[in-house]
Amino acid sequence: MRHTISVHVENKFGVLSRVSGLFSGRGYNIESLSVAETIDPQVSIMTIVTSGDDWIIEQISKQLNKLIDVIKVTDLTELDHVEREMVLIKVSPRQENKAEVLRTAEIFRGRVVDSSINTYTIEITGDEKKIEAFIEIMKPMGIKEFVRTGKVAIARESSRKK
Amino acid sequence: MKLSGAEIILESLKKLGVKHIFGYPGGVILNIFDLLHDDKDLKLILTRHEQGAVHAADGYARATGKPGVVLVTSGPGATNTVTGIANASMDSIPVVVLTGQVPTLLIGNDAFQEADIIGITRPCTKYNILAKDVKELASQLKELFHIATTGRPGPVLIDLPKDVTSHKTEFIWPDKVDVRSYNPTYEGNQWMIAKAAHEIARAKKPVIIAGGGCIISEASHELRELAEYTNIPVTMTLMGLGGFPGTHDLSLGMLGMHGTYYANMSVQESDLLIAIGMRFDDRVTGKIDNFAPHARIIHIDIDPTSIRKNVRVDIPIVGDVKNVLTALNKVLKKDIKEPWDEIRKAWAKQIAVWKKERPLSYHFVKDVIKPQFVVEKIYELTKGDAIITTEVGQNQMWTAQFYKFDKPRRLLTSGGLGTMGFGLPAAIGAQLAFPDKLVIDIAGDGSIQMNIQELATAVIYKLPVKVAILKNRYLGMVRQWQELFYQERYSHTNLDVTPDFVELAHAYGAVGLRATKPNEVEPVLKEAFKVKRPVFMDFVVDWKEKVYPMVPAGASIDNMLFEEQEKKAPRKLKAVK
């Protein structure tokens, strides 16, 4: 099963490498990883999407906790949480599809962040399903390229209190 | 007064109780070596290879329980420590490695003797740090020693760019260490401990498996108390030997691939396993799906990742072995009054049958030395009280089988990584810590050649280590596998050209002795133990001798091969590929 794990780490040199090295060294899979500083500049949060059975997820969580620079590990999959991802997608539709592309982007609450004579670059934010749905719809329109951020996630306040 | 980085490092080491450093100099670490030239309190032991330095520090740590310290230069000096670090990491040994690094401004430029040792050792250290600021050195060193020696111990490394060791600042020794993200669990969960006590009371066929954690946590006394009070037999992993007395009636010896028949049978038939400070390594469990099929498992370990990593566990207890056993013994003695001997009568009887059925054995012959005979003689003559190191392979397994370790920290052996070349430098480290003790490396002619240069270290520092080389002119354990599983195709395991170890010892200024017949073994050992100098003993042993029992890789541990059986009707075996 797929799990979204949120890892609070010391914002130090080499921490990303320790975490990614743990995954590669033990043969765990990383589907996506995003990392940035928090309100406390000494702490960063990594959001890692990984998959495995319960044994593997338990080991991943324990192994992460064992790293000296890891402060806290939360498996968000067990909690009610909000998750978001962003994609920047560059499409080059034929003339007759241009309006369709813009309309679809609007339906998905996307924004055009760059345009040229032949292309639009559209920004879409949402959960994974929404991002994938948008990419699917854009495929026949002619995707030049896209880039995704990987997931970020946060527990709902109501679930934290439980 | 302001001190240089190098001075701060030495002052910090002194404050941390360090007396000895194992090392090797080089360009960028000279600031520190220069100070050692006339330092009265810190003694540097110059090994002949950086790998030797780490193994020596490791042996020192295993023998004393205190951290071993290593000081080497950058680049090749640093990369040569990697095997030693990985070795210490697998066996949870506190070793602190200080490496030189090129000046901060040159890092990343592929400078002369530059290596990214932080990147290289990240997966095999418990923690490592690149020092960037002389002001942080003291607290970083204190932090590293703390991390190395607490929780599940392990090696740590600090990389010291040359400019950091020459910059000056005030030396301020921190009062305490504060690593907010590092808080090992020392006390076991009381509820789980109570549950464990009830399981123990109920069990009809229980077995204790004691691992290296019992030794690290100094819990031999508590372990013995548990075993004796509840009348439960104890088997040990290689790392656990000596944690419980090998000569005790309840001892089953070692389990696993080359474990005793009765240990493996007891584990397989047991209804309760109490695993203490061990991690269910594949050499212990054999085929995992068929390991102890009827047993419920209580697993006590300080490292949560060890629990439920390889086997399912019914009662996990995370905590320091000594604390958990103390609490467990208390609960057992207070709450549970079982007539232990009565309940376990049938089990004790069964184990006695197994012990009688197939004891550890070999066939003594008059004209050829059997390697097991040498180990037995060493045991007899030392009365089990020497510090024994081993190399890796047959020599190691025969030692584990035929030398009975009654006390902890008497067997120093490379368990997890299986590093050939460990024994001699480890013996040097142990001898330095205990100058008056008899320290013996039981070696093979293959392994000893992997760090043989350290004989010079032993000679120069007058460390009278004894090396018993069981010479069979083969890489014996690999040859054994080839004989059993690869149709006797001895691909590249023949060491026909082996040096004359007696002459070699002389060349280094050590004593060299040789025995070619069984009746020469005892006189050679006696002579070696008498002289106060390092000795190489060349025992020319039967090259065909194999380690039995043996569980083929991938088989379940009750599926053992025995010598007499293989002689009568050799089984056709295929290697698990």
Give per-residue pLDDT as tens, B334-371: 987 777 777 889 999 999 999 999 999 999 999 999 99
Peptide bond into B523 cis (omega under 30): no
Read off the pLDDT of each residue in B512-522 and give the average, rounded to a whole number.
Answer: 98
Catalytic residue among B50, B143, B376, B483: B50
From residue B544, give the alpha-carbon distance in Å to each of B136, B396, B488.
58, 17, 12
Shortest distance between the Cα of B537 and any Cα of chain A, in A, equals 41
Percent of chain B predicted with pLDDT > 70: 99
The answer to whether B229 and B340 are in contact (CB under 8 A) is: yes
Chain-chain contact of B181 with A63 (C-beta, under 8 angstroms): no
From residue B104, give the alpha-carbon distance in Å to each of A18, B131, B151, B575.
22, 9, 32, 51
Token readout for A138 is 């854009």
* B309 close contact with A: CB closer than 8 A: yes
Chain-chain contact of B305 with A18 (C-beta, under 8 angstroms): no
> Could you give the CA distance from residue A115 to residue A136 in angstroms, rounded to a whole number?
21
pLDDT at B521: 98
* B65 close contact with A: CB closer than 8 A: no
Catalytic residue among B2, B14, B112, B345: B112
Is residue B113 part of the annotated active site? The answer reads yes
- B571 has pLDDT over 80: no
Residue B36 burial (C-beta neighbours within 10 Å; 0-12, 13-18, 19+) = middle
Distance of CA B568 to the CA centre of its chain: 36
- How confident is the prediction for chain B on average, in pLDDT? 96
Chain-chain contact of A66 with B309 (C-beta, under 8 angstroms): no
Chain-chain contact of B309 with A71 (C-beta, under 8 angstroms): no
Distance of CA A116 to the CA centre of its chain: 28
Segments of B423-525 assigned E as strands: 439-444, 466-471, 511-515
pTM higher than 0.90 for the full model? yes
- A161 has pLDDT over 70: no
Chain-chain contact of B122 with A18 (C-beta, under 8 angstroms): yes
Catalytic residue among B15, B19, B66, B113: B113
The answer to whether B259 and B557 are in contact (CB under 8 A) is: yes
- How confident is the prediction for chain A on average, in pLDDT? 94
Q: Which distant-in-sequence residues (6+ apart) come within 8 Å of B388 by Cβ?
A: B378, B399, B403, B405, B410, B411, B412, B439, B440, B441, B442
Residue in A closest to B146 by C-alpha = A68
| Helix residue ranges, H only, B270-409 | 282-285, 321-335, 340-343, 345-357, 371-382, 394-402
Tens-digit pLDDT profile for residues B19-47? 999 999 999 999 999 999 999 999 999 99
> Could you give the CA distance from residue B217 to residue B300 in angstroms, rounded to a whole number?
12
Tens-digit pLDDT profile for residues B124-149? 999 999 999 999 999 999 999 999 99
* B181 close contact with A: CB closer than 8 A: yes
CB atoms within 10 A of CB A13: 12
Read off the pLDDT of each residue in A46-69 and give the average, rounded to a whole number.
Answer: 96
Q: What is the DSSP string of B543-572?
A: TT---SSBPPTTSBTT--B-HHHHHHS---
Give first-to-last CA distance, chain B, whole Å.
Answer: 64
| Helix residue ranges, H only, B122-189 | 137-149, 162-166
- B577 has pLDDT over 60: no
With cut-offs at 50, 70 and 90, classify the pLDDT of residue B576: low
Top residue of B117, B136, B159, B181 to mutate, by most chain A CBs within 10 Å, is B181
Chain-chain contact of B308 with A59 (C-beta, under 8 angstroms): yes
Q: Which residues of A touch B (CB under 8 A)?
A: 9-10, 13-14, 17-18, 21-22, 25, 55, 58-59, 62-63, 65-66, 68-71
The answer to whether B522 and B544 are in contact (CB under 8 A) is: no
Read off the pLDDT of each residue in A24-41 and give the average, rounded to a whole number.
Answer: 94
pLDDT at B575: 65
Closest by CA position to B335, among listed B451, B237, B236, B195? B195
Q: Tokens 């951290």 identify what position?
A: B67
